[in-house]
Amino acid sequence: MITTTTLPNSTVNQPGYSQTISATGGTGAKTFATTAGTVPTGLTLSTAGVLSGTPTAAGSFTFTVTATDTVGATGSQAFTVTINSAVVITTTTLPNSTVNQPGYSQTISATGGTGAKTFATTAGTVPTGLTLSTAGVLSGTPTAAGSFTFTVTATDTVGATGSQAFTVTINSAVVITTTTLPNSTVNQPGYSQTISATGGTGAKTFARPRAPCPPA
């Protein structure tokens, strides 16, 4: 009787798959063989019942293993093993921001792999003031301006990984560089002055505060 009833799934091209299929009863030593279906591509089943190797193709594989004792008695068990596609980080860019601007929060996503994936920075440094959670959320308040290049790696439950490099620019604070505006005369047409600003991220819009302007 084969007592192993399930085998774990894995991820394509992830080395180190090794599972022993066990059996009880019978007379003398037992030998194991695949008697129906096909084991995952890249794996082999030894006569001792060890399914091992590096799976090289994704897919769902159903097969039957039969244990035979020294007098020819047999016991069989069907298995289905899924080999999942490679881990791929699908987020390829992250938005820039402005120094000391709160509320930065971006989720880095990944597909493929086996089970849940955890995320970590494996090269470079995320922007100062931001942190990357194991769930792949880059968040916080950036506290230093600059260009930050870093690599994020997602790892699944069998150790398969996928990585993506990012560059995030934290721009300097918005500063209005126009400090004075010329006076004019009542009813004199043609007043036009441009107020300029530097820093910040992307285009800037201008608006006066809610407090009223000084009377004319």
Structure confidence at residue 211 (pLDDT):
63
Please give the class, per CATH, of domain 10-84. mainly beta
pLDDT tens digit sequence for 80-96: 999 999 999 999 999 99
pLDDT tens digit sequence for 124-173: 999 999 999 999 999 999 999 999 999 999 999 999 999 999 999 999 99
- This prediction has a pTM of 0.87
Domain ranges of the chain: 10-84, 88-171
Please give the class, per CATH, of domain 88-171. mainly beta
Query: Among 115-124, 181-190, 207-216, which range has the highest average pLDDT?
Result: 115-124
Residue 98 has pLDDT above 70, yes or no: yes
- Answer yes or no: are the C-beta atoms of 103 and 31 closer than 8 Å: no
Radius of gyration of the chain (CA): 31
| CA proximity to 132, closest of 86, 85, 89, 99 | 89
The set of residues, in sequence order, having a beta carbon less than 8 Å from that of 11 and lying 6+ positions away, is 55, 83, 84, 85, 86, 87, 112, 113, 114, 156, 158, 160
pLDDT tens digit sequence for 171-204: 999 999 999 999 999 999 999 999 999 999 999 9
pLDDT tens digit sequence for 12-55: 999 999 999 999 999 999 999 999 999 999 999 999 999 999 99
